[in-house]
C-alpha cells in the first residue's frame, strides 16, 4: 500500500462541502473517493488539509490517500481526472510515505473575493460576493492589520469542544483590482494566512471588515468587537461563494506549493 499526496482544485458550488456526507449528498471527498474506487477497485479514505464548507472553492487543497498501484503516478493522475466531474480536478500527484495533509501543514492561505458594482455580474456570481456600495479600502486594511499576530479569535469562530480560540495570523491584507478601463466593477481580494482557522472564521472576518468598509463600523468598533472575544452573530457571515482555499504550505515546500503564502495545522476542522 502506497500513500499518495495530491494537489486538488474544485468549484464547490454544487457540493455540500469537502467532508463526505450521507449517501446521495454530493461532497468533494465523496467524489474523489468514488473516482479512486472506479480506477483502482479499492476503497480509500481521502484526507484533506481543510474541510471547506458548502459552496467554498479551492485552488490549493491538499489531500492524501492509500492505494496499491503498480503503474506510474502520472497514469493514476490521468485516470482519476478522467473519472472526476468537470468541477473537480487533481493538479499534481506523487507518492509520499507518512504524509498527513492536515497535521504536517504549517500554514493555510484563504482568499475572499468581493465584487463592487451596481449591476449583477452573472458570470462571477458563483465566485464572489456582490456588494453594490463603494468600500473604504483604507479603513478595511486598517482593521485587517489588527488581526496580524497571535490573538484570541473567539469573536470570529468557535473552537472544537475544549479547544482554544488562539490562532496566529501571518497575513491579513486587502488588494483591489478594477475589471474594466473605467474603474468599474472593482474586485477586492482579501488574503489571510494563519496557523489555524476556527469554524467560519474567515467568513466572519470578511463580514466584519466589509461593515467597516461600508461605514457601518469604525475601525475602533471593529477592534473592540475583536478584543471582546464574543462570537459575532451568524448574520455577520460573508456568503461562502467568495471564499477559496488558495494553498497550503508544508516544511518541504512540496507538490502543493504553486505560489507563495500559507497556514499551519488547524488541529480540527479548517473552514472559512
Question: Are 160 and 268 in contact, with CB atoms under 8 Å apart?
Answer: yes
Rounded Cα gap, residues 256 and 272, in angstroms: 19
By annotation, the residues acting in catalysis are: 53
Backbone angles phi, psi at 9, to 5 degrees: -120, 145
Rounded Cα gap, residues 200 and 267, in angstroms: 15
Question: Are 135 and 115 in contact, with CB atoms under 8 Å apart?
Answer: no
Residue 133: C-alpha distances to residues 116, 130, 212, 237 (Å): 7, 9, 12, 18
Helices vs strands, H then E, count in the chain: 5, 10
DSSP per position, 88-101: EEEEEEEE-TT--T
* 222 φψ region: left (φ > 0), alpha (ψ -120 to 50), beta (else): alpha
CB contact set of 261 (below 8 Å; sequence gap of 6+): 107, 109, 171, 191, 193, 246, 247, 249
Place of cell 477497485: 41
Rounded Cα gap, residues 14 and 154, in angstroms: 30
Amino acid at each position: 500500500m502506497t500513500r499518495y499526496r495530491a494537489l486538488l482544485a474544485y468549484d464547490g458550488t454544487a457540493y455540500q462541502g469537502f467532508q463526505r456526507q450521507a449517501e446521495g449528498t454530493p461532497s468533494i471527498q465523496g467524489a474523489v473517493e468514488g473516482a479512486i474506487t472506479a480506477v483502482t477497485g479499492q476503497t480509500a479514505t481521502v484526507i484533506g488539509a481543510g474541510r471547506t464548507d458548502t459552496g467554498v472553492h479551492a485552488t490549493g487543497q491538499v489531500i492524501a490517500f492509500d492505494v496499491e498501484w503498480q503503474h506510474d503516478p502520472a497514469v493514476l493522475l490521468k485516470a482519476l481526472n478522467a473519472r472526476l466531474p468537470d468541477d473537480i480536478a487533481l493538479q499534481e500527484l506523487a507518492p509520499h510515505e507518512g504524509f498527513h495533509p492536515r497535521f504536517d501543514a504549517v500554514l493555510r492561505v484563504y482568499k475572499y473575493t468581493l465584487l463592487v458594482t451596481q449591476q449583477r455580474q452573472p458570470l462571477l456570481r458563483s465566485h464572489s460576493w456582490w456588494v453594490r456600495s463603494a468600500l473604504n479600502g483604507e479603513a478595511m486594511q486598517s482593521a485587517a492589520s489588527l488581526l496580524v499576530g497571535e490573538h484570541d479569535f473567539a469573536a470570529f469562530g468557535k473552537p472544537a469542544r475544549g479547544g482554544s480560540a488562539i490562532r496566529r495570523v501571518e497575513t491579513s491584507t486587502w488588494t483591489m483590482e478594477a475589471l474594466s478601463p473605467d474603474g468599474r466593477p472593482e474586485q477586492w481580494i482579501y488574503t489571510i494566512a494563519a496557523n489555524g482557522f476556527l469554524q467560519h472564521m474567515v467568513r466572519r472576518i470578511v463580514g466584519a471588515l466589509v461593515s467597516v468598509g461600508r461605514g457601518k463600523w469604525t475601525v475602533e468598533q471593529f477592534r473592540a468587537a475583536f478584543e471582546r472575544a464574543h462570537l459575532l452573530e451568524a448574520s455577520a457571515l460573508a456568503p461562502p461563494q467568495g471564499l477559496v482555499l488558495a494553498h497550503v504550505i508544508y516544511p518541504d515546500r512540496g507538490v502543493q506549493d504553486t505560489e507563495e503564502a500559507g497556514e499551519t495545522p488547524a488541529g480540527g476542522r479548517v473552514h472559512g
